[in-house]
Structure formats: structure tokens, C-alpha cells
Structure 1
Amino acid sequence: MDWSSSLQGLAGGILIGLSATWLMATLGRIAGISGIIGNLITVRPRGDSAWRITFLLGLISGPMLLMLLGGNLGNVAGAPGEVIGQPAGGVVLMLVAGLLVGVGTGLGSGCTSGHGVCGLARLSPRSLAATLTFLATAIVTVFVVGQLSGGGA
């Protein structure tokens, strides 16, 4: 077992939980990324954009700062020296997948961060149903893609 990765995951989870709690405690807002971005783009209430932009800049700048300081994001590419790696199915598949995620986020009235982190913490039955649906869909998708690619999941 790689304790370093486990501790990094634990630290990341704690930071996500603290940031979600801070946002709820200070602004009364849920840290759901789809809602933060969606309302920034479609709904522009006066004085409501600054925290959304700051939140999004933090999401982007945190990993960038870590990389600039020589930190490790974890090798999710599977090859030394790569951080993310090449798309498994090409750009068109990535665009289709992104659109499907967007449609699912709209149908589910939120995303995994909103329902899975914030909604479950508030004991929301709707968020429990959404999170279980996300997980079941992910499990089925991994299985089907594994079968189609010949890898067997």
C-alpha cells in the first residue's frame, strides 16, 4: 500500500470538505461546480460573480501552483513524466463525453461535487439518489467500455 498517495488523498478530501464548509458558512452557497459555473454564465445577479470567479480561479490555480513548485499531481497518465496523458478515445469522443456530462448535470440538477460532497453532508435524500445514480452509471460505463475494448473489467 502506498501511504503517500493515501495521505495525499486524505489531505485533499479534508481540504475539499473545509472549502465546502467555508463557502456554506460564509456565503450560504453550495460548492457545486456546475451551479457555480452555470449561474456565472446564465444568471448574473449583482455582486454574485466575484466569489464564483474567485472559486473557479482557485480550482485552476491550485494544481498549476503545485506543478510550478515541483509538486506531484499523481501520475494518472500511466507513463513517467506525463501528468494527464493523451485522450483515450480522441478529441471527438472527449467532446461527446463532455456534452453528455453537461446534459447529465442538467438532468440531475447538479454534479458530483454539489450532490456528493455538499448534498450528502446536508443529508439530502435527493443528493443521495443522485450520487448513487452517478456511481452506478460510472460502474456500468467502466464495465461496458472494458468489454468493448477487450480489456474486460
Structure 2
Amino acid sequence: MENLTYPILGGLLIGLTTSFYLITTGRVVGISGILAQLLFNKCRLLPLLFIAGLILGGSAYGVLVQPSIPFPEMRSPLLLIISGLLVGYGTRLGGGCTSGHGVCGISRLSIRSIVATMVFMATAIITVAATK
């Protein structure tokens, strides 16, 4: 059996973080919403800390744990910018990002989030099946 320590710890931290954020701000965690708060609201400390935590946490994991997943080759900066803009547009069009719908929306029993997550998952399954 695989070592389940990291996935269980990660899941607990995600659950605690989303609960803490909802209790302290009254808002649902979703990266697109947090980024919008950082860019367009006057109160920017909590969104800034949240995004910094994502970056620092991922970086620390990569440095300290040395995951066995190989780092992808460098892509064109223009391709990355265009991809990021398309993802951002799709996120706004879909009323939130996958993390917001999947983690927070489903836990609130939001029909829109349940449907959106089913569409995300079905698309991912079809994509994997088509590319194998």
C-alpha cells in the first residue's frame, strides 16, 4: 500500500483552510475569486497571504520532498501567457475555478458546482482515454 501521509495531510489542510477562510471572511475559497480580490479590492492582505502560501507551499514541497514527477520542459512565454488568459476567461465564464467548485461548491451542496465538477471530471476522463 502506498504511503498515504501526504495526501491525507494535504486534504486535511485544504479542508481546514477553506473552512477558516469561509468563517473569517464569509467568502468561499476559489483561486479565481481570491485573485480578483487581490487585484480589485482595497483589502488585500488575506488574498495576498493565501496566494503567497500557495506559491511557498508548492515550492517548499518541491525542494524538501523531491517528488518523483519529472519537471516539464520549458514552454514558450507567449504560449504560457495566452494559455493563462484563456484559463482566466474560462474561469470567469464558468463562475469559478475547478478548486472552488470541487472543494467548496460541492461541500455546500451547490447544484451548479456539482454539475460543473461532473463536467470537469468527465472531460478529464475522456481526454485521458482519447490520448492513451
TM range (shorter): 0.7 to 0.9
Does the Cα contact within 8 Å between 1:63 and 1:73 map onto a contact in 2? Answer: no
Residue 96 (structure 1) shift: 4.5
Match of 1:150 in 2: none
* CA displacement, residues 67-108 of structure 1 (integer Å, 9 cap, x when unaligned): 55xx2152221xxxxxx2315xx4365444433322221111
Amino acid of the residue matched to residue 25 of structure 2?
A: L
- Percent identity over paired residues: 42
What's the secondary structure of 1:98's corresponding residue? helix
Match of 2:122 in 1: 136
Distance 1:118 1:128 in 2: 10
Match of 1:56 in 2: 51
Distance 2:13 2:126 in 1: 30
Q: Give the aligned length.
A: 131
Rg (Cα) greater in structure: 1
Residue 141 (structure 1) shift: 2.6
Match of 2:5 in 1: 7
* CA displacement, residues 36-77 of structure 1 (integer Å, 9 cap, x when unaligned): 102322x22x3x211110111111112333455xx2152221
Tell which has more relative contact order, 1 or 2 (C-alpha 8 A, sep 6+): 2
Residues 106 and 73 of structure 1: is their aligned pair in 2 closer, same or farther, counting only changes over 3 Å? farther
Where structure 1 has 5 or more consecutive residues not aligned to the other structure, the ranges are 78-83, 147-152
Where structure 2 has 5 or more consecutive residues not aligned to the other structure, the ranges are none
TM-score w.r.t. the length of structure 2 is 0.85
Distance 2:69 2:79 in 1: 19
Amino acid of the residue matched to residue 110 of structure 1?
A: G
Question: Is 1:75 aligned to residue 61 of structure 2?
Answer: no
Provide the aligned C-alpha RMSD in A. Answer: 2.0
Match of 1:102 in 2: 88
Residue 116 (structure 1) shift: 0.5
Does the Cα contact within 8 Å between 1:30 and 1:114 map onto a contact in 2? Answer: yes
Match of 1:35 in 2: 33
